[in-house]
Amino acid sequence: MMHQTQPTGQLSEPPAMVDATPAGSSVLSRAAPPISAAVATALCALMGLLGVALRYAGTGHAEFWAALAWVAAYVAGGLGPLRTALAALRRGHLNVDLLMIVAAAGAAAIGDWIEGVVLLFLFSLSGALEAFAMFRTTRSIDALVRLRPDEATIVSGERRQQRRVPVESLTVGDVVSVRPGERYPVDGVVTEGETWADESTLTGESEPIAKSPGSQVFAGAMNGNGSVLVQLTKPPSDTTLQRIIRLVEEAQAQKTPTQRFVESWQRPYVIGVLSASLVTLVAVRIAHAAQWYDAFYHAMVLLVAASPCAVVVGSPAVMLSAIARAARHGVLFKSAVHLESLGRVNVIAFDKTGTLTTGKPIVTDVWSHRQADAPRLLALAATVEQRSEHPLAAPILEEARRRGAVLSTQPVKEFHSHTGLGVHARVDGVWVGVGREGLFDTHDAPLPPSLVEQAQSLRDAGRTALLVMTNLPQLYGIVAVADQIRPEAAATIAALKRLGIGRIVVLTGDHAIVGQAIARQVKADEVRAGLLPEQKVVELRRLAADREEVAMVGDGVNDAPALAAARVGIAMGGAGTDVALEVADVVLMRDDLRALPLAVWISRLACRRVRQNMIFAFAMIGVLVLSSFFSLPLWLGVLGHEGSTVIVVFNGLRLLWQRLPELA
């Protein structure tokens, strides 16, 4: 049936040819099941059966009392669709409710009350089942809404007085107390205490996350076994949870190209069905010299048989279910359009740093000309790097701490940083330089051949080689640093290929050797290296020029232009970054690539279900229309029409509980 239950939020205008309210019911609350539609359907059935019983009871005035019961059945089953049809007509719209009301009124006009009651009962039953199915797809949003507590315990004053206040009254900077087993009421940072948090409802991450001072927490997450104080970092109206809810609501409200295509021809189609029914009425009456009853009956059967209810609802039923299922597993589609687009993608491009890799380099090798000097060389390099702000300084210092290297306690003298080359200083009177070859060219310090050879060997292996030179003979070496590939990266790419993704491309601003080393380990198909952010956009356009449907996966921060340029932009770690929620079309809420095959699987399955529904719905229309020329009873036409609608709705609803395959 042509009913759509839309979530609240910022909705687009309803299309000119379709009314969005389920037949047989008023506008349904998203938070409550469609009880009124079920009651109306039950009353319609009860009054219809009562009318049949009275008619054949043989009592006085049996026909009158039976007709009265049938009128009551008409009111129960037809009042909702009548309201919907009249409201649509006032706006100049046409919908399937109008076709059903015309058919039911026609049945009553020719005295065939039972056929009309059966028609309205089946129509109302289908509407109630469909409304219940759509209610199931929105329950994931309702579950999210219920996650955030209505009240919080605010801590204020020097004596840390605590009092319960509405969450909406809190402001950024306030401190709240969260006890064991409570849900966090706000987004914020832990300022005191240690605990763990269950964030599975937001990110899909099943493992509890340890929290200590400085850790970020999210509204709706469950606190573990410790009491903590949390300082608000966002207004209660703009928490990650609230933004997720808004995004899912907006996604469910938007229409895919398939839906828009179906709705574009619905108005002329309804007019065509009404016209064809009128022509059938006249043609049967004239050509076969039939009674007006028979001619009208044939026209009503055709009107019901040709109604496009299953076609119209076939796509939204699937898309709403798919979006709800994905949200349950920490994958946010910002619109049904992107869900459908991802289902057609055959090329996925990955940003390297922070996506295929952890984005946190570590020291992989410490090489010294004399191996016994390696600890001293690392200590000297770390002592100099203490003054550096370069990202690679942190892993060197971390490695020195891990190995127990003793750093100089004397002040570092003559420290200089050369952008893009490295740093040098004097440590305990020893000149120490750490960086690339160009750093030592500026100091006319010749590099030993063994050092150059070892550096090239490490770079060929995909590592960054930082040369360490001193003014002492034989005391030189290399500290090699590399970003670490995510443990799940290779399995994720293998799963994507099993799902039918034809090409995996790595885009990186790093050297080609590093990019190729990463690609070999994760088994990517292509590498495009040395790219600036704007050059990544150019590469994506080149991929799309090959008639490929391209998705881009990144962290949503430094690759925002590429995410925007791709057919589908996918950002990771959306629970922790506002940027990812803004720029991406699809957001993986947890910082884990394994959610990506799940998103692709859901989108491809949804596209298959839409095709199944469209084929089945058009086939049923064809069968019913042909059968209408061979004395198809009106009630059987209604049963086939409404039955096909219920089938396509529940075919979409299956997405909510279908077992997940082993993906990655």
Comparing CA positions, the residue from 291, 317, 303 lying closest to residue 648 is 317
Hey, what's the torsion of the CAs at 587, 589, 594, 597, to 10 degrees? Answer: -30
Comparing CA positions, the residue from 582, 590, 588 lying closest to residue 221 is 590
Q: What are phi and psi of 472, to 5 degrees?
A: -100, 140
Sign of the C-alpha dihedral computed for residues 237, 239, 241 and 243 taken in this order? positive
Comparing CA positions, the residue from 653, 615, 600, 519 lying closest to residue 258 is 615
Return the residue matching tokens 């401190």: 175
Interior CA angle at 466 toward 464 and 469, to 5°?
160
Q: What is the Cα 366 distance to its own chain's centre?
A: 44
Residue 97 falls in the annotated catalytic set: no
Return the residue matching tokens 């299956």: 654
Length of the chain: 664
Return the residue matching tokens 């043609």: 283
Query: Per DSSP, which regions of 37-106 are E strands?
Result: none
Q: What one-letter code names the amino acid at 427?
A: V
Q: Which SS3 state, helix, strand or coil, does residue 424 take? A: strand
Spatial separation of the C-alpha atoms in residues 380 and 424, rounded to whole Å? 11
Q: What are phi and psi of 44, to 5 degrees?
A: -60, -45
Comparing CA positions, the residue from 532, 520, 475 lying closest to residue 493 is 520
Return the residue matching tokens 């914020």: 188
Q: Six-digit token pair at 536?
A: 């990544």
Spatial separation of the C-alpha atoms in residues 241 and 218, rounded to whole Å? 7
Return the residue matching tokens 């290399």: 478
Query: 574-582 long-range CB contacts below 8 Å, 24 or more apart?
Result: 574/332, 575/199, 575/202, 575/203, 575/218, 575/240, 576/216, 580/555, 580/556, 581/240, 581/243, 581/247, 581/332, 581/556, 582/556
Which of 97, 174, 187, 351 is flagged as catalytic?
A: 351
Task: Outline where 171-264 has alpha helix (H).
Answer: 200-203, 240-253, 257-264
Active site residues: 351
